[in-house]
Amino acid sequence: MTQVDQGTLERLRAAHQSIKSELQRTIVGQDQVVDQLLIAILCRGHCLLEGVPGLAKTLMISSLAQTMHLSFNRIQFTPDLMPSDITGTELLQIDPESGARSFQFAKGPIFANVVLADEINRTPPKTQAALLESMVERQVSAGGKRHELPDPFFVLATQNPIEQEGTYPLPEAQLDRFMFMVRVPYPTIDEEREILRRTTGEALAQPDAVLAGEELLAIQRAVRAMPVADHVFDYALALTRGTRVRGDAPLAFLTDWISWGAGPRASQFLILGAKAHAAVAGRDHVAIEDVRAIVHPVLRHRIVTTFSAAAEGITSDAIIDRLLKEVDPGATVGAGIPSVPAAS
């Protein structure tokens, strides 16, 4: 079992608190959203944010980049957006002295540490694929050459859950590339009152940078070095495999609610997210409660519900809630996977 650098973990915890304090200067509420974004960043993961317009998603993401001294670009996705508008293109350049002609690559807005893909479901699949390929490869190919993206590199995409006309929903295979799907709720009445006070008075305060990019990379390495016991691995596997109606003996209630369940990438993100959650909580080991804390943002976009589930108003979050009740972390069978009641 690997050993984690305690000094780096202490810096992680201090940086986490400092970042949240700075964000509170510009963002009112949304603590759970901020926590999930920070956990994903500590794991080098990308996030899909779902929420109606006007909930300060853009302000939150740009402020987050400021607190970590990272470059930030926003891409507004529209039906006429082309892949080269995101990744960049080769331009013909003429040397004024020799007259020689050559192609030079002009970088697109994806060349930033933090990229906000605003309303990603408003652009056609070809353009979506250009962004999502860069998310996985962390590089752009043009003219037979590869151009490395900055490190660290995070894509935080947004989509509106209400408007469906003129949208191109992301396929399941592309949704799977996002570590988290984060739901951005409406503010409470007290939070909305505070928003009114801040935004109708003097200019908003700007957050200060409290973490450098190089320090963030060291913290990310420390998170990956967090030790995980076998029973935690088994619990994460049980949750992921429990969503599959075509795999092992499925849970009885799932066969009517799920068309397709989560793949192995979900288990990977459950463990990585649990490591970051444990580190932020001040522990140098991962526990069952760390997995449970991040299971909703990891699994909710990886569960494809049936028509009957939609007709009954059964959401993926409701299925995850039921799964957490059914999967017993204390009971193990066979190779140590927690036992679950099978369909009859």
> Inter-axis angle of helices 31-42 and 57-67, to 10 degrees?
50
Q: Length of the chain in residues, anyone? A: 344
- What is the per-residue pLDDT for 1? 44
3-state secondary structure of 113: coil
CB 233 within 8 Å of CB 290: no
pLDDT means per 10 residues, the chain with 344 residues, are: 68 88 88 93 93 86 91 92 87 76 83 92 87 86 82 90 72 88 93 89 81 85 90 92 72 77 93 95 90 96 86 88 84 48 44
Q: Which element (helix H / strand E) includes 26?
A: none
Tell me the C-alpha distance between 332 and 294, whole Å. Answer: 22
CB 35 within 8 Å of CB 290: no
Q: Which element (helix H / strand E) includes 88?
A: strand 88-94
Tell me the C-alpha distance between 257 and 215, whole Å. Answer: 44
Where do the H-state alpha helices sit in 43-188?
A: 57-67, 83-87, 125-137, 172-175
Whole-angstrom CA distances from 25 to 12, 28, 185 are 20, 8, 19
Q: Write down the CATH number for the domain with range 6-217.
A: 3.40.50.300
Tell me the C-alpha distance between 274 and 101, whole Å. Answer: 53
- What is the per-residue pLDDT for 163? 62
Domain at 227-338: CATH architecture: Orthogonal Bundle (1.10)
Tell me the C-alpha distance between 47 and 290, whole Å. Answer: 19
pTM of the model: 0.86
Task: Compute the chain's Rg from CA coordinates.
Answer: 22
Residue 280's nearest CA partner among 301, 296, 294 is: 294
Query: 93: which strand partners?
Result: 102
CB 239 within 8 Å of CB 233: no
Q: Is the dihedral of CA 182, 187, 191, 194 positive or negative?
A: positive
- What is the per-residue pLDDT for 166? 64
Residue 245: what residue type? Answer: V
Residue 182's nearest CA partner among 205, 158, 199 is: 158
- What is the per-residue pLDDT for 2? 52
- What is the per-residue pLDDT for 295? 96
What are the extents of the domains in the chain?
Answer: 6-217, 227-338
Whole-angstrom CA distances from 253 to 47, 204, 245, 259 are 29, 49, 10, 12
Tell me the C-alpha distance between 2 and 80, whole Å. Answer: 49
